[in-house]
């Protein structure tokens, strides 16, 4: 096999990899269609693959149409793909920037294809535009600062792609291919240029698909463990996370609070389930706002909630319960008359009372919550208060 034919083989491998990268991204999108940026990435890969196919197949009559179509497809594919990376981080390349690179691409393609034909010059236009959007995507996507797993791989891919585009026409052009009349970026380079592209593309594709699949799994897990009405953890999610918190010595000691909306059935019966739902939603919001990021809030069922406070004693739990109780009693509700006060009763248990396991902590806090109800409701029963007092 000659060097020129080997280069074409590797160029074809790159084209096939782009095509299958697009299919892999489309599959990732099919798992969660809310991730619309993946459709942009898929469209970019397919558009780029079409450009490569036109360059290989020489489908269109005349040299200029083939070159122009192939070039524009590859530039459009690069812009779409890099826009997708930016949107994944909640940003965009920017309309002004995109318009600018499109103008440069159009002028360059027309100039080096029709006015002053030059295969190397035209490929440089395509490469420099791709390098520009790659660097822009890195900056807008904050790939090294957003903390997302796998993003450093994508950072080095995009920087590597930009470097590849900026240098390949200066060091990798095959003089023999140009002498033979090569017209496309798919057949004017020596073999290592195509090998580098494949080496860049494969880990980037694997990382992107892995990130998206992992993201879908995280979303499904969150939806499984979250109470849809109140936005706090449901019973399953709370118990699982609470056990992990208790098992982590760095978060000790802990305080458990169990609370229950007073006379909730009467609210439902008198004012309807819409009013009852509003009460639960507002109570859940108050608990979330009052808790820290390291604390857990969950709905155990019905109108009963639980809060597990990290690095907190029983006294801290009592103070938390009192803050929430006072705020709730002063809240106004849209579906309740202004004279209707909503209150809750709280029971607090701390690890300092000898409870070392989750079941015991919950049971003790629950008993104290019922003690608060028996004592008149709208109060908190602290961990240090005896059952008989």
Peptide bond into 192 cis (omega under 30): no
The confidence band for 180, taking pLDDT boundaries of 50, 70 and 90, is: low
Taking the C-alpha atoms of residue 24 and residue 35, their distance in angstroms, rounded to an integer, is: 14
| Sign of the torsion angle spanned by Cα atoms 6, 7, 12, 17 | positive
Q: Are strands 344-350 and 296-301 parallel, antiparallel or unpaired?
A: unpaired
Q: Which of 60-69, 120-129, 319-328 has the lowest mean pLDDT?
A: 60-69
Token digits for 192?
């290592």
Torsion angle of C-alpha atoms 265, 267, 268, 273, degrees rounded to 10: -140
pLDDT score, position 283: 96
Lowest model confidence (mean pLDDT) among 92-101, 182-191, 297-306: 182-191
Q: What is the pLDDT, as a whole number, of residue 353? A: 44
Whether the pLDDT of residue 386 is over 70: the answer is no
| 3-state SS class at 338 | coil
Please determine, for residue 294, whether its predicted confidence score (pLDDT) is greater than 50. yes
Number of neighbours of residue 289 by Cβ within 10 angstroms? 10
Query: Who's near 34: CB < 8 A, 6+ residues apart?
Result: none
The predicted structure's pLDDT at residue 174: 61
- pLDDT digits over 40-71, tens only? 999 999 998 888 777 766 555 555 567 778 88
Q: Which residue has the tokens 């599959």?
A: 27
Contact 380, 346 (CB under 8 A): yes
Check residue 355 and give its pLDDT: 52
pLDDT at 177: 54
Q: How much is the pLDDT for 304?
A: 97
Poorest-confidence range of 65-69, 97-101, 117-121? 65-69
What stretch of H or E contains 333?
none
Please compute the mean of the pLDDT values over residues 210-232 and round it to a whole number. 90
Please name the residues in contact with 152: beta carbons below 8 A apart, sequence gap of 6 or more.
Answer: 143, 144
Which of these ranges, 43-47, 118-122, 196-200, 257-261, has the smallest mean pLDDT?
Answer: 196-200
Q: What is the CA radius of gyration of the chain?
A: 31
Band (pLDDT 50/70/90 cuts) for residue 102 is very high
| CA–CA dist 225, 219 (Å, integer) | 10
- The structure tokens 């808790």 sit at 291
pLDDT for 11 beyond 80: no
What's the whole-number mean pLDDT along residues 350-356? 60
CB atoms within 10 A of CB 334: 8
Query: Six-digit token pair at 37?
Result: 């940026």
Instruction: State what percent of residues in the chain have pLDDT above 90.
Output: 52
pLDDT at 226: 94
Nearest to 173 by CA among 116, 118, 106, 105: 118
Q: pLDDT band for position 104 (50/70/90)?
A: very high
Phi, psi (deg, nearest 5) at residue 256 = -105, 135
**Mean pLDDT, residues 83-95:** 92
For range 110-129, the mean pLDDT: 86
- Checking if the pLDDT of 354 tops 50, the result is no
- Going by DSSP bridges, is the β-strand pair 380-381/344-350 parallel, antiparallel, or unpaired? parallel
Q: Which residues contact 217 (CB under 8 A, 6 or more apart)?
A: none
The 10s digit of each residue's pLDDT in 259-274 is 999 999 999 999 999 9
Q: Categorize the per-residue pLDDT at 192 as very low, low, confident or very high, splitting at 50, 70 and 90.
A: low
Q: Which whole number is the average pLDDT over 202-207?
A: 86
Is the pLDDT score of 146 beyond 60?
yes
Q: Tokens at residue 206, please?
A: 């694997």
Note the pLDDT of residue 4: 52
What average pLDDT does the chain have?
Answer: 86
């Amino acid at each position: 096999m000659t060097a020129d034919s080997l280069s074409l083989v590797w160029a074809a491998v790159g084209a096939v990899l782009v095509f299958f990268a697009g299919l892999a991204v489309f599959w990732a999108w099919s798992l969660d269609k809310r991730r619309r940026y993946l459709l942009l990435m898929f469209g970019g890969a397919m558009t780029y693959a079409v450009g490569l196919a036109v360059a290989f197949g020489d489908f269109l009559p005349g040299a200029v149409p083939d070159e122009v179509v192939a070039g524009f497809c590859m530039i459009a594919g690069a812009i779409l793909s890099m826009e997708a990376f930016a949107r994944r981080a909640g940003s965009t390349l920017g309309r002004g920037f995109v318009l600018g690179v499109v103008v440069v691409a159009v002028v360059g393609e027309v100039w080096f294809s029709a006015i002053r034909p030059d295969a190397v010059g035209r490929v440089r236009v395509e490469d420099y535009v791709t390098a520009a959007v790659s660097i822009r995507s890195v900056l807008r996507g904050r790939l090294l600062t957003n903390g997302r797993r796998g993003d450093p791989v994508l950072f080095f891919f995009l920087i590597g792609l930009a470097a590849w585009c900026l240098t390949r026409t200066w060091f990798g052009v095959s003089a023999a291919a140009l002498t033979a009349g090569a017209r496309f970026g798919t057949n004017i380079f020596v073999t290592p240029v195509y090998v580098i592209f494949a080496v860049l593309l494969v880990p980037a594709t694997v990382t992107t698909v892995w990130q998206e699949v992992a993201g879908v799994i995280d979303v499904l897990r969150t939806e499984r463990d979250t109470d849809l009405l109140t936005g706090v953890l449901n019973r399953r999610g709370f118990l699982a996370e609470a056990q992990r918190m208790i098992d982590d010595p760095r978060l000790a000691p802990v305080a458990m609070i169990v609370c229950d909306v007073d006379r909730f059935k009467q609210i439902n019966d008198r004012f309807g389930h819409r009013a009852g739902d509003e009460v639960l939603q507002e109570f859940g919001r108050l608990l979330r706002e009052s808790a820290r990021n390291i604390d857990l809030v969950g709905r155990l069922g019905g109108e009963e909630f639980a809060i597990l406070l990290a690095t907190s004693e029983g006294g801290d739990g009592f103070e938390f319960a009192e803050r929430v109780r006072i705020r709730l009693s002063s809240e106004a509700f849209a579906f309740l008359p202004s004279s209707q006060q909503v209150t809750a009763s709280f029971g607090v248990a701390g690890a300092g009372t000898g409870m070392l396991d989750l079941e015991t902590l919950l049971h003790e806090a629950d008993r104290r919550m019922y003690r608060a109800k028996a004592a008149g409701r709208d109060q908190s029963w602290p961990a240090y208060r005896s059952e008989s007092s």
